[in-house]
Structure 1
Amino acid sequence: MPQQDYYQILGVSRDATAEQIRKAFKKIARENHPDAKKDDPAAAERFKAAAEAYDVLGDEEKRKKYDQFGANWKHFKDGQSPYAGGGSGGGGGNPFRSGGPVDVDLRDIFGGQGAVDLEEIFGGMFGGGGGRRSAGRGRAPRPQKGEDLSATIQVPFQTAAVGGNYDLSLQRNGKPEELSVKIPVGIEDGQTIRLGGQGEPGHQGGPAGDLLLTVQVAPHPYFRREGRNVLVDVPVSMTEAALGTKIDVPTLSDGIVSMTLPAGTSSGAKLRLKGKGIEHPKSGTRGDLFVLIKIVVPKGLDARSKELLEEFAELNPLTPRAGLW
């Protein structure tokens, strides 16, 4: 049976880096290790083939020979066969025992630094001591942190802007659980809140994972946000805009405030209330509230109103488009 290409076995390209090769082997080994796939001959074969491929491609010198000579790489040393004048034994640095199955030393594959902690290499898949351990090691499995959980919550615009609490309902082991989540001042749409220890339970006495909450900020009926600034559209009548007046403006945290609308204000004008925007969580400085003026023109004018407006137009001949095009 022709020998498979080691690069194909690991599922990497021929120009893969050493780190890419290591990660590819680790993934295959985790999925097909005999302790994870008991009584599965196909998985055992995949594990053995991957270990053989990694033993070669994970070693810089062996990989160079393999790239040069292909499947016969191990029969060459410095460009010559190790068997020339030396018999047909398994010398010449052949890492495999002739005539039998491949014998892979995991300590060589994973760095050659004494005993290998398979629980660390394979992500704790051996569980509570039931899996096989390296011969003579006798070490207890290391504590493993539990998996993180993730969820998305929708927070009211006001709560996201000024901070507050958000009540969250969870299901744990089939039982409902209530959590009060602290919403930081000024959190933005798409940001994440991490709740430590609220994820999956740990293994072998390890800590629980975390709960990661992605925040969606609900739209507001009239406020909208631009960075730390807040914008609000305020409708005014044509006489208020022409003559000037005091108008009421809503704010995020100070209720309704009164501001001056200057005489002759045009529709689309932007007036600023300094420091009425969103607080910066680190510096404590606040953005501004910008009031966008929208002039509302009356509809269904009676005859007298039309007459007055026509008289006004005669007294104030204004062509606002003059010089624009």
Structure 2
Amino acid sequence: MICQIGNAKQRTSNLLAEKTSVAEDLYQTLGVDRSASKDEIKKAHRKLANKLHPDKNPDDKASHDKFKRVQEAYDVLSDEEKRAAYDRYGSDFEKIRGGGFNPNAGGSPGFDGLDLEQIFGGRGGGGGNAQFDGFGDFFEQMMGGGAGGPSAGGRRRRSPAPPARGSNVRHELEIPLEIAVRGGKTEFYVQTGSANEKIAVNIPAGVKTGSKIRLRERGGPSPNGGPTGDLILLLKVSDHPYFKRSGGNLQIDLPVTIGEAVLGAKVDVPTPAGTVTMTIPPGTSSGKRLRLKGQGVGSTDGSAGDLIVNVQIQTPETIDDDSKELIQKFADKNQDDVRQGIAF
């Protein structure tokens, strides 16, 4: 009897090994050895999940499939009980561990039609061998306690799928330069089903076109009661009629009069923090660049870039005769050759 049971166990192990070889090995999926520690498995999973995440590969179906296999492999190998069952029974460990094997049913899910009656010489219809009456208890112990509980036909019902997370939703949000520079609250609408949902979000100072903001659990719903996906905002900063951004600095072309440029003056300049007074030095030429410290683009740490003021001398479109006479006198007394040295 012991010999026959040993042979049957060996044949069962061989079939399990053949079945396992067909399925992808979970250790190979994560790229670790079968002796890998929990930390090694966790590190391998984190590295692959970060590389293959659908958010980084939105149009790559192969990466999506690989990402799912990596998640499934980690789910098994990070659980001591599941890993031990997988190491023992291979890809069929869930069916065996879950009680799907019934020696009286003539077959077993995951064993490709393996018939225990063929192994042990038959025991049905009143002609069974008395020496195998206790076989069910033996096989239950050998397989970890799964001899009972099959559904009709000898096959166990498949467990319901675990709750799946909803999909992430991407939305392009256009914001004015003022909010991008200083930060602030803005509101927008997102299509949810047949209605538009109004959402308010705080924009941090210093964002730029291409920046992303993730709103947790404001995306697509789960198909089976799991958590909602995330809403990912792709920011686009609108152009400003007067200011331009250059990294952490802002630039503005500031018109000044001939008198202000020649004689010098104090002029008001608009900034993100409000209007400030700036000194125009006497004899300032058009194109002169003046700098206002800390009046540029803000950042989350409270610091800010600079405001670069490009001086632009503005001449009047019309001029009266008295003014022309004065300008002529000024020109006659200042005969500097301002174009000296310019050549092709």
Return the TM-score normalized by structure 1: 0.58
Assess if the C-alpha contact under 8 Å between 2:215 and 2:230 holds in 1. Answer: yes
Amino acid of the structure 2 residue aligned with 1:298: P
* CA distance, structure 2, for counterparts of residue 233 and residue 220 of structure 1: 12
Three-state SS of the structure 1 residue aligned to 2:305 is: coil
Structure with higher helix content? 2
Q: Which residue of 2 aligns with 1:280?
A: 299
The unaligned stretches of length 5 or more in structure 2 are: 1-17, 28-90, 95-108, 113-155
Higher Rg of the two aligned structures: 2
Aligned-pair CA distance for 1:216: 1.1
Cα deviation digits, residues 169-216 of structure 1 (max 9, x gap)? 123221232110111111101211111111111243322111111111
* CA distance, structure 1, for counterparts of residue 159 and residue 338 of structure 2: 86
- The equivalences for 1:132-211 within 5 A come to 138-211=158-231
* CA distance, structure 2, for counterparts of residue 112 and residue 106 of structure 1: 10
* CA distance, structure 2, for counterparts of residue 257 and residue 263 of structure 1: 19
- 1:233 aligns with one of 246, 249, 253: 253
* CA distance, structure 1, for counterparts of residue 255 and residue 20 of structure 2: 75
- 2:22 aligns with one of 98, 104, 108: 108
Three-state SS of the structure 2 residue aligned to 1:240 is: helix
* CA distance, structure 2, for counterparts of residue 160 and residue 267 of structure 1: 30
Amino acid of the structure 2 residue aligned with 1:306: K
Assess if the C-alpha contact under 8 Å between 1:166 and 1:183 holds in 2. Answer: yes
Q: Which residue of 1 aligns with 2:279?
A: 260
Cα deviation digits, residues 154-181 of structure 1 (max 9, x gap)? 1111111111111111232212321101
CA spacing shift, 1:133–1:260, aligned 2, 3 Å: farther
* CA distance, structure 1, for counterparts of residue 187 and residue 319 of structure 2: 51
* CA distance, structure 1, for counterparts of residue 213 and residue 170 of structure 2: 10
* CA distance, structure 2, for counterparts of residue 319 and residue 225 of structure 1: 36
* CA distance, structure 2, for counterparts of residue 279 and residue 271 of structure 1: 19
> Would you say how many aligned residue pairs link Structure 1 and Structure 2?
206
* CA distance, structure 2, for counterparts of residue 296 and residue 116 of structure 1: 83
Three-state SS of the structure 1 residue aligned to 2:92 is: coil
Q: Which residue of 1 aligns with 2:264?
A: 244
Structure 1 consecutive aligned stretches of length 4 or more whose deviation exceeds 4 Å? 104-107, 132-137
Aligned-pair CA distance for 1:143: 2.5
Are residues 1:303 and 2:280 paired?
Answer: no
Three-state SS of the structure 1 residue aligned to 2:261 is: helix
Are residues 1:322 and 2:340 paired?
Answer: yes
Q: Which residue of 2 aligns with 1:223?
A: 243
Assess if the C-alpha contact under 8 Å between 2:214 and 2:232 holds in 1. Answer: yes
* CA distance, structure 2, for counterparts of residue 138 and residue 214 of structure 1: 41
* CA distance, structure 1, for counterparts of residue 161 and residue 317 of structure 2: 80
Aligned-pair CA distance for 1:251: 0.6
Assess if the C-alpha contact under 8 Å between 1:171 and 1:177 holds in 2. Answer: yes
Assess if the C-alpha contact under 8 Å between 2:20 and 2:92 holds in 1. Answer: no
Q: Which residue of 2 aligns with 1:59?
A: none
* CA distance, structure 1, for counterparts of residue 110 and residue 207 of structure 2: 48
Aligned-pair CA distance for 1:288: 0.6
Q: Which residue of 2 aligns with 1:86?
A: none
* Percent sequence identity over aligned pairs: 38
* CA distance, structure 2, for counterparts of residue 134 and residue 147 of structure 1: 36
* CA distance, structure 2, for counterparts of residue 133 and residue 148 of structure 1: 36
* CA distance, structure 2, for counterparts of residue 208 and residue 162 of structure 1: 31
Q: CA RMSD in A?
A: 2.6
Three-state SS of the structure 1 residue aligned to 2:250 is: strand
Assess if the C-alpha contact under 8 Å between 1:244 and 1:260 holds in 2. Answer: yes
Assess if the C-alpha contact under 8 Å between 1:201 and 1:209 holds in 2. Answer: yes
Assess if the C-alpha contact under 8 Å between 1:225 and 1:231 holds in 2. Answer: yes
Q: Which residue of 1 aligns with 2:3?
A: none
CA spacing shift, 1:270–1:112, aligned 2, 3 Å: closer
Amino acid of the structure 1 residue aligned with 2:305: G
Amino acid of the structure 2 residue aligned with 1:201: P
Cα deviation digits, residues 101-156 of structure 1 (max 9, x gap)? xxx96862322782389xxxxxxxxxxxxxx9999584431222111111111111
Amino acid of the structure 1 residue aligned with 2:200: S
